[in-house]
Structure 1
Amino acid sequence: MDFLIFIIAMAALIYGADFVIKESERIALHFNISSFVIGATLVAVGTSLPEMAVSMSASAKGSADIAVANVIGSTIFNISLVLGLVFLLAKNIEPKRDLFAKDSAWSIFPILIFILMGIDGRISMFDGILFICMMGAYLLFLINSNSIEQSDEDLSKDKFNWIKTLVLLLIGFIFVIVGANFAIDSAGNIARGFGISEWIIGLFLVAFGTSLPELIISVKSAINNNADLAIGNIIGSNVANFTMVLGLSSIINPLNVDFNSYLFDISAAFIVSLMLVFITANKLYNKSAGIALLVVLGLVIQNSL
C-alpha cells in the first residue's frame, strides 16, 4: 500500500507543479515581474511550506534535532540534487538575471548567520525574530532589484483573471504540499520496513521529501526553458528555510543545536552553498556543474550513512 501511495503522491506533485509554474508566470507577466523574483518569492515560499510544517511541528514537540536537520538537509538537497538535475536535464540554461552580482550573497548569508547564532549551542526566540527580519530584507531586496523581462507568448494572449489564477495557484500548491506530505510518510514507512534508523530518516528522507516541491517545480521550469524561475526557486527556498522555517520554529520553542553532532552536515550545506556562488560567478550553467553537484551529494550521503 505504501508503494501505491508513494506513486500517487508523486503524480500529485508533478500535476500540482504544472499549475504553480503556469500561474506564477501569468502573474509575473501581468505585473511585469521577472520570473526570478516570482520564483524566489511566491514559488519559493510555497514550496518551503512542507519544511515549515515539519520543523515547526518538531519544534513544538521538543524535537530540535529534526527541526534543524530538516533545514540543513533540505539546503543540501536543494542545491546538490535539485540544481544538479536542473543543469543535467535542461537543454539550454541562460538566466536573464546576473545571479552572481545580485543574488549569490543570499546563497551564503543565511547559513553564515545560522552558524554565528548557533555557536552558543542555541537558536533563541530573539535569534528567530532576527531570522524573520532577514526574510523581510530579502523580499525588499528582490522587489527593488526586479527587472522586466519577456514571458511566454501563449500566456500573454490570455486575458488575466485574478479569481481563476488564484484558484489554480492554490490548487497547485495544495497538490504539491499534500503530495509531498504523503510521499514523506509512505517513504518513511517503506524505509522503516527495511530497518533504516530514525536519524537517517530525519536527515535524508524527511529532508528529501520536503525538497520534492522544489525538485519538481525547478526541473519542470528548466525543461520549459525558464531557468530564472528554476534557480530563483532554489535560492529563495534556501533563504526561506533558514529565515522563516528556523525563525518560526525557534520562536515556538528555542532550538538547541549540537554543533559537534551536526558539524559534517553543516559543513556540507556550507560547501554546496559556496559551490552555488562559484557556479554563478563563472556562469557554469552546464552538465559538468550538474554532475559535480550530484557527486558531492553522493559523497555526503556515503559519509553520513
Structure 2
Amino acid sequence: MQSMTGFANSSTALDIGNEKQIEISLNIRSVNSRFFDASVRAPHALSGIEADSIKLLRKRLKRGTIHVTIHLNNLGSLVQEITPSIELAKVYLAAAEQLKEACNLTGELSLTDVMRLPDIVAKKEFRIAGEHKKFIIDLVDKTCTKLLEERNKEGVQLANDISERTDKLAQMIEDIAKQIDQIFKQRQQAVIDKSKELANDHDHENQQCDKLRSTMQVYLDKLDVTEEIVRFRSHIVSFKSILADDSQQKGKKLDFTTQELFRESNTIASKCGHGITSSTIIAMKSELEKIREQLQNIV
C-alpha cells in the first residue's frame, strides 16, 4: 500500500562545458487527491521541460497532487550577452531634456541613471541544451524514487492501522450476530407463548390468534438481518483481500468496499434499534469512519 503524501529533494551539478557548472536543486511534494494533478515550476532556461516531467510523474506516481520545483542556483552568472538599446537610450535622454526646458529643471542624467531605466539593456540568457534536459529529467526520476520510498513507508503504517480496524469490524459483526440471534429467539418465544395463551382463552377467536401470529411474524421478519450480516462478512473478506494484494493502486477499490460496509451497518442499525446492539453499531460506524478517512490518503 502506498500513501499519497510525501516529500523528496535532490541536488547536483550539471557540467555545461567550458569548465562551467550549474547547481540544480529539485523538490517534489505530493498530497492526497482523487485524481492525478501535477505542476512544475522551473526557470525560463528550462522551458519545455514541464511536459516531459509531468509525463514521467504520471507514470510513476499514479495519483495525488504533485508539486515540482526546480532551481538553477547560479544561473545569473551564466548570462551570455547584454545588449544596450541605443535608440531607447536616446529617446529617454531627449525626453529628459524636454522636461528640463519645460519645467525649468537642472541636473544631468548619469550613466548609472540611464542603466537603471526600464528595458535599456537586453539580456541573452543561458538556455539548457537538449542533452542537458535529459540529465534533469533523470534527476526528476531519481527524486521520484526517493518520494516513492517515503510514500511506501507511510503506506505501511496506514495499512497496519487499517488492518487492525478491519479485524475489529470482523469481531464486531460476530458480536452483533450473537446479540441479534438471542433477541430474535426471545421475541420468537414470546410470540409462541402469547399465541398459546390466546388459544387457551376461549374469549378470543381463532381469527384473532391468527392475526396476532401474522403481525408478529412480520415483525420478526423485519428483525431478521441474516442477509445483511452475511454481506457484511463478505465485504470484510473482500476488503482484506484488496488490502493484501500487490497492486499499486487500491485506494478507490477499498473506498468503494467501505461504502458497502457502511450501507450494511446502516441497514442493521435501522432494523435493530435495540440497546443491546446500539453501542456496538456506533463503535462499528466509528471504525468505518476512521478507515474512510485513512483511505483518502491511499493511492
Is TM-score (shorter-chain normalized) higher than 0.5?
A: no
Between Structure 1 and Structure 2, the one with more helix by share is 1
TM-score norm. by structure 1 comes to 0.20
Between Structure 1 and Structure 2, the one with more strand by share is 2
TM-score norm. by structure 2 comes to 0.20
